Structure 1
Amino acid sequence: MKRTTACAIGIGTYLAGLAVGYQVILRNRCLEWGSTKEEVARAMPGDDLLTDPDIVATRSITINAAPERIWPWLVQMGPGRGGAYTYDWIENLLGLDMHSADTILPQFQNLSIGDTFALGDTGPRMRVAVHEPEQALVFASEDGHWVWAFGLYPSDEGTRLVSRNRIALPNKAVPTRVFNRLIMEPGSWVMERKMLLGFKQRAEREQKAPVVAVSEAPAPVGG
């Protein structure tokens, strides 16, 4: 009994130390990766859709490409579409059917407000809530607990792509909140960092491709 009690105390102390260390040292870095203080504080489209979140993560990256080069990669995101440009094998362990595209897919470019897709068989259904071409794209879960916004902001180096997640955890028990804090938050950073780097790699590669103006396009065969 004494050994069991001592073991429980030891585990509890370890977890408490881990929680405090993450909260004090790593949490802000995890939730604000790549972002400036101004970007974290700036209002974004979609903020008003979830005004009292339990978690807000604002992560950003500079892409050496114009917004119009990044936008097509954004609008084709999703399971069974263009994927999420992250670790597909992890996404698919969760049954999300993610297959990250390396090309722009014309069949998934016609996104509109109100369009929906499900994140797996048991995950939330996401709805397009804001659609401002080459400026902002916002997805909101139909249960009202998650808003995921993307903003494109021109900069001297190209474009700042800012991703903001606003998440509510209503009626979650303490163990669930601890799990979210210590496991899900760092996990989301790992996945979203990879996603933003995926955007950067694809859009910068596409930026090097020549843009063919309509007047320069070849005439139809037989025209």
Structure 2
Amino acid sequence: MRTTRIVGLAAGVTAAAVASYPLLWREWCQTWGATDEEAQATLPGDDLLLRPDLLTTRAITVETPPSRIWPWLVQMGSGRGGAYTYDWLENLFGLNMHSADEILPQFQDLHIGDVLPVGDGGPKLLVEVLEPDHALVLRSDDGRWVWAFVLQEIPGATRLISRNRIAVPDASPFVRWFNQLVMEPGSLVMEQKMLRGIKERAEWYL
């Protein structure tokens, strides 16, 4: 009976969380760490996908200048510097992510049009905007995903802003429901870890 009650309670809590997510938690999930001004601001790369089905803007303060953060961004990718998140989880999907704890000189010479791979079978992210120490914008080869990293210097620190614009124009109602209730919170977990991972490395590696 006790097990049954626990299972029932867990099911009830899960149902309540799912039901309340669109109204109470979704905006927080989509804008974790970002100020209202940052979430509403026009950022580099916004023009590459004008009407996304999913838009997230997340941010973190890094206690170091933009020039100390930039090298960690440009070396990201499978077989490169990784993504500074949960490698074990990404590698369950064969993404070959191994987050570096040092700056890798061989991956610092990035150019417009270069590709940052996401696993062997994943999307190819092409460099569309490259403004050193300010903006790195990637777009998937199918044009449905734009990922922008923006560095905004503030007194004594830098705001690291990550914006995802994703289009799922052909998705069924079930897929849209799954994306909203599962993929969005999941992306927050991974991106929190990534932003904190970059912060820790940039602040430590001086």
TM-score, structure 1 normalization: 0.84
For the 8 Å contact 2:76–2:116, the answer to whether it is kept is no
SS state at 1:154 partner: strand
Aligned position for 1:119: 118
Identical pairs, percent: 57
Runs of 4+ aligned structure 1 residues displaced above 2 Å come to 17-20
1:156 Cα deviation from its structure 2 partner: 1.9
| Residue 59 of structure 1: aligned partner | 58
Distance 2:67 2:20 in 1: 41
1:19 is displaced (CA, Å) by: 4.0
Q: Which residue of 1 aligns with 2:8?
A: none
Aligned with 1:80: secondary structure?
coil
Aligned to 1:205: 204
Q: How many angstroms apart in 1 are the aligned matches of 2:202 and 2:119?
A: 27
3-state DSSP of counterpart to 1:202 = helix
TM (normalized to structure 2)? 0.91
The equivalences for 1:29-40 within 5 A come to: 29-40=28-39
Which amino acid is 1:160 matched to?
R
Whether 1:21 and 2:20 are equivalent positions in the alignment is: yes
Contact 1:63 1:157 in 2 (8 A): no
How far apart are the structure 2 equivalents of 1:108 and 1:121?
18
Cα distance, 1:119 vs structure 2: 1.7
> Which of the two has higher C-alpha Rg?
1
Whether the aligned pair in 1 keeps the contact of 2:65 and 2:156 (CA below 8 Å) is: no
Q: Distance in 1 between matches of 2:107 and 2:124?
A: 18
Structure 1 residue 105 corresponds to structure 2 residue 127:
no
Structure 2: 5+ residue stretches without partners: 1-10
State the 1:18 CA deviation: 4.6
Q: How many residues align?
A: 194
- The 3 A distance-change label for structure 1 pair 117 and 71 is closer
